[in-house]
Structure 1
Amino acid sequence: MSSTTATLQDLDSVDAFLNVAATETVPLFEHLEFEFLLEYDVFAPASRGRTRVHQPPDLFRGFLHCYYEDVYGTRPVARELQHGLVWYYCGLDKPPSRDTIDRFLTDLEHVIDDVFQRLVEQAAARGLLNSTYSIDSTHVEAIQYNDDASWNYDSTAEEHYYGFGCTIVSTGSKIPIAAEFTQRKQADAETAMRVTKDALAVGTPIWMLGDSAYDILEWHDFLLEVGIVPVAPYNPRNTDDPLDIEYRVEDRIKEHSEEVQLKQSVLDETYNRRTGVERTNDAVKDCGLGHVRARGRVHARTEVFIALCLRIVVAITNFERGDDPGREKLTL
């Protein structure tokens, strides 16, 4: 049960009900417009058949509200949006049915990457990104009925889990700017390159940080060629003749410049900022990435990206209200 639902049961007046609904939901939508969802062909009115009773921007607000209130899955989301003024403050004319919720999620699958990117652009326009990007992979647990998930090993937690993975590039105050949903937690070189290029389409940082899993020659050389310094610990297990270096860039920089020298103290200091991406992962998990309830890979991926979108919405809302964008909740 969401915190809104639990709180509403304890209220003894309509005014109190209105206050809770307003403070819990409305601030999320004060500074952002989602009308751009109407531009997508997938949401265009059908030439034949029933017209849409509920508009995509309003349903998207409904999902953001539910994820903010720790409500996940089409059935729980449909139940949450049945409550009094919750659906009203999301912009809906009446409560949507579970079929409507499921159909919207299915349609959203086709455009969720672009929706996420539009929100990233809004964060960038507000100056919420900085000159250091970090890349990391995290685990995404799935329900046992999701036949597309698989058993994976999380080396960080030193335990097995059933689910998927997600590779995220973040910057600034716990803001994800690029991501990819993967079958396993550990991303391969192809995924690392794709997500990195997506992040650079947003802006060009000075530094790109990754752990030893990103001791990938192609990744380092690509970043150096475009003028970005990659900082990832050297993994001596990748060779029978290990080099006497701490970071792979100490060796690769020689292939790109004879004049540039990198002090290890500077690399150490810069690499210590990588903990920011771990905090971003935790923040996104609080937004729903850690609670994927969908069956199937495609629906699960969409739910992960909704969580990523919510994290950006919370950061932008806090910024616009004069609060710390890194806060994981709104100040009421």
Structure 2
Amino acid sequence: MSSATLQDDPSVESFFNVAETETLALFEHLSFEFLEEFDVFAPAETGRTRDHEPPELMRGFLHCYYHGVYRLRPVERELRNTVVWLSCGFDRPPSRDAVDRLLTDLEHVVYEVFERLVEQAAPGGLLDLTYSIDSTDVRAMAADPDASTCYDPTAEEYYYGYGCTIVSTGQKIPIAAEFTESKQALEETAMRVTRDALAVARPVWMLGDSAYDTLDWHDHLLAAGVVPVVPYNPRNTDAPKDIEYRVEDRINEHGEDVQLKQSILDETYNRRTGVERTNEAVKDCGLGRTHARGRVHARAQVFLALCLRLVVAITNYERGDNPGSTIIMV
């Protein structure tokens, strides 16, 4: 029985509650059949046939993450629930091996899955003309051998895990991201994530904290017709400039007829809190702490959380509800 007809069957109607209604809503406007296109999920030419059912397992993982179930064994147990595996489209409950293999193979294509969801969000009116970039911590279990001790300069504390750099816009919508070894991302990571974000749609403004006060990043954005608004960081210079934002200096140097009022820059920069709200929304979807052993599963789980945030936003928007909410309205 498919999830499309499940609600109409009186024999199972009594099984439904709010949780299952939310699960079906997650998949009402979204199809993951494109996962079949990726060779990584294809059966091996020799040996045992892989019983991945990737679209169904993707729905299963999203259901579990939405309900705060992250570790593999609890995920397997949750997918044994009759209403859950039926609503996700399975013919029978998936095995633990299938769940584990899907998460392992998904790491190879999870960014492409994320991009597909961003492409669905982009033309639907969910994006705006202001982008923000920020990095956040991703906490790991002590048993994860690939994680490391990292420093969080915002909280002024050390933690064990990884990091994630996110560009967001609109109502807590992540549109580009990169899994990193720690919260403090390299400049090349910021450049790569920025290029990915500009490929989605071109904003007017790009906001970031002083960690993004680099010349190459600013010049790349200005060349693309985007105004970066980042507080000037004098670092160790002996002759600090009399500016509040780096863009003031770049425009004075390269833009003869362009002027930006200080009040406009201040007002625009105040919107940067949007990316912090996005980070919190994605953490509500499972990004806050990975329940994995190893970098491969950790990265897959981080992007699954990002995908879930997009699925919830798209679902609420297309149902006429608040896309900024982290729960499905039922």
Q: Which of 174, 178, 181 is matched with 1:180 structurally? A: 178
1:5-41 CA distance string (max 9 Å, x none):
xxxxxxxx96442234531310000001111101111
Q: Is the 8 A contact 2:52 2:102 kept in 1?
A: no
Correspondences of 1:1-332 after superposition (within 5 Å): 15-20=13-18, 22-332=20-330
SS at match of 1:331: coil
Aligned residues: 320
Matches of 2:14 and 2:82, distance apart in 1: 13
Matches of 1:78 and 1:172, distance apart in 2: 34
Matches of 2:240 and 2:118, distance apart in 1: 40
Amino acid at match of 1:223: L
1:80-99 CA distance string (max 9 Å, x none):
11112111101111111111
Q: Is the 8 A contact 1:21 1:86 kept in 2?
A: no
Change (3 A) 1:214 1:102: same
TM-aligned CA deviation for residue 255 of structure 1:
2.9
Matches of 2:47 and 2:14, distance apart in 1: 41
Q: Structure 1: any 5+ residue segments left out of the alignment? A: 1-12
Matches of 2:293 and 2:280, distance apart in 1: 23
TM-aligned CA deviation for residue 50 of structure 1:
3.3
Matches of 1:114 and 1:256, distance apart in 2: 37
Matches of 2:19 and 2:207, distance apart in 1: 41
TM-score between both structures, scaled by the size of structure 2: 0.94
Matches of 2:39 and 2:52, distance apart in 1: 16
Q: Is the 8 A contact 1:224 1:256 kept in 2?
A: no
Amino acid at match of 2:257: E
1:222-276 CA distance string (max 9 Å, x none):
1111111000000122422111100000001123310000101000000000000
Matches of 2:162 and 2:255, distance apart in 1: 39
Matches of 1:41 and 1:125, distance apart in 2: 28
Q: Is the 8 A contact 1:152 1:162 kept in 2?
A: yes
Matches of 1:21 and 1:85, distance apart in 2: 10
SS at match of 2:141: coil
Matches of 2:262 and 2:244, distance apart in 1: 8
1:47-93 CA distance string (max 9 Å, x none):
23333444110000000000000000211111111112111101111
Change (3 A) 1:238 1:216: farther
SS at match of 2:329: coil
Matches of 2:238 and 2:96, distance apart in 1: 57
TM-aligned CA deviation for residue 146 of structure 1:
0.7
SS at match of 1:187: coil
Matches of 1:172 and 1:205, distance apart in 2: 11
Q: Structure 2: any 5+ residue segments left out of the alignment? A: 1-10
SS at match of 1:233: coil
Matches of 2:188 and 2:292, distance apart in 1: 26
Matches of 1:120 and 1:15, distance apart in 2: 34
Amino acid at match of 1:47: E
SS at match of 1:178: strand
Matches of 2:190 and 2:126, distance apart in 1: 23
Matches of 2:117 and 2:237, distance apart in 1: 41
1:276-329 CA distance string (max 9 Å, x none):
000000000000001201111121011000000000000000001100110111
Matches of 2:150 and 2:209, distance apart in 1: 19
Amino acid at match of 2:200: V
TM-score between both structures, scaled by the size of structure 1: 0.93
Matches of 1:136 and 1:246, distance apart in 2: 19
Matches of 1:52 and 1:236, distance apart in 2: 56
Q: Is the 8 A contact 2:33 2:55 kept in 1?
A: yes
Amino acid at match of 2:21: T
1:171-226 CA distance string (max 9 Å, x none):
01101011011111011211110110111111111100000110111100111111
Matches of 2:101 and 2:328, distance apart in 1: 30
